[in-house]
């Protein structure tokens, strides 16, 4: 586990500034949700944490390391995307172990890591199946399994539930929270869904147009919104 510090981070694409000096401090083991309307810069910020996007200014620290210039694989993070493409020609076990295989881990080592992760996610009986033989929820679990096998210091999620139907979405919220309670891995989770944010987060970061409007526990934002934008966004149905 590790803390994450985002210090005056900026991002421009050409002349367009999309992240305008964001500051967020995330404690060891905390579950933090970045929430805000589409286009406000959530994915860009997450991709900068992951190292998939260069930062135009500021500093990102994971634990006590400044990671600004580190490539993704040296950051000790794992990311679960909205479009969690599984490899169709690989079994669940192979999908989960693939990143370890790329790192040159032996078969025994891979299976030693995949088994407990599968256990945690209830995938033990599905390890030999192919993605096409799984339900949407099971596929989502495999996508999380790929992240868990690496036991990273930080999990990053980008709208992982947005392709699931409403019922499954509610169920997966609970599962992800249970997973977090079990592993206590520092997590940064992006969503545009305020209900997801209010029900899952230890701490919510409300973003709007590349800036942070407010940071607080769900009830703080609900009881004491800093401005009309936060009040409107937290209070409106998704």
Residues that bind ligand ADP (CB under 6 A): 13, 18, 36, 38-44
> Which tokens belong to 237?
């149905």
Strand 57-62, strand 31-35: pairing: unpaired
Task: Look at residue 39 and give the partner it binds from Mg ion, ligand ADP, none, a contact being a CB closer than 5 to 8 Å depending on partner kind.
Answer: ligand ADP
CB of 191 to ligand ADP, least distance (A): 10
CA distance 46 to 224: 26
Tell me how many helices (H) and strands (E) the chain has. 8, 10
Whole-Å CA distances, 192 to 37, 84, 183, 189, 226: 6, 18, 25, 10, 19
Which of 93, 82, 200 lies closest to 142 in space, CA to CA? 93
Whole-Å CA distances, 205 to 14, 61, 87, 110, 210: 26, 18, 33, 36, 12
Nearer to ligand ADP, 17 or 68 (CB): 17
User: Shortest Cβ contact with Mg ion: which residue?
Assistant: 43
Nearer to ligand ADP, 81 or 130 (CB): 81
Which residues, 31 to 50, sit near Mg ion by CB under 5 A?
Answer: 43
CB of 48 to Mg ion, least distance (A): 13
CB of 133 to ligand ADP, least distance (A): 32
Residue 191 interacting with Mg ion (CB under 5 A): no
CA distance 218 to 199: 8
CB of 215 to ligand ADP, least distance (A): 16
Nearer to ligand ADP, 13 or 87 (CB): 13
Task: Look at residue 18 and give the partner it binds from Mg ion, ligand ADP, none, a contact being a CB closer than 5 to 8 Å depending on partner kind.
Answer: ligand ADP
Nearer to Mg ion, 43 or 140 (CB): 43
Give the number of other CB atoms < 10 A from CB of residue 67: 22
For residue 211, what are the β-bridge partners?
208
Site size for Mg ion, by CB under 5 A?
Answer: 1
Nearer to ligand ADP, 44 or 95 (CB): 44
| Interface ranges with Mg ion (CB under 5 A) | 43
């Amino acid at each position: 586990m590790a803390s994450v510090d985002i210090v005056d981070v900026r991002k421009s694409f050409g002349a367009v500034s999309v992240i305008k000096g964001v500051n967020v401090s995330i404690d060891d083991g905390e579950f933090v949700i970045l929430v805000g309307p589409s286009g406000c810069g959530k994915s860009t910020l997450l991709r900068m944490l992951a190292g998939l996007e260069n930062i135009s200014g500021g500093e990102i620290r994971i634990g006590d390391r400044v990671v600004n210039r580190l490539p993704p694989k040296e950051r000790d993070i794992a990311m679960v995307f909205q479009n969690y493409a599984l490899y169709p020609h690989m079994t669940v076990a192979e999908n989960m172990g693939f990143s370890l295989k790329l790192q040159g881990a032996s078969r025994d080592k891979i299976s030693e890591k995949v088994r407990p992760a599968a256990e945690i996610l209830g995938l033990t009986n599905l390890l030999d199946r192919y993605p096409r033989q799984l339900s949407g929820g099971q596929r989502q679990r495999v996508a999380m399994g790929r992240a868990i096998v690496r036991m990273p210091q930080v999990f990053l999620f980008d709208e992982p539930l947005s392709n699931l139907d409403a019922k499954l979405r509610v169920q997966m919220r609970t599962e992800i929270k249970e997973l977090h309670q079990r592993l206590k891995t520092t997590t940064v989770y992006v969503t545009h869904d305020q209900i997801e944010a209010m029900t899952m987060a230890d701490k919510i970061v409300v973003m709007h147009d590349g800036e942070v409007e407010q940071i607080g526990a769900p009830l703080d934002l609900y009881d004491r919104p800093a401005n009309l934008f936060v009040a409107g966004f937290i209070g409106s149905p998704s």
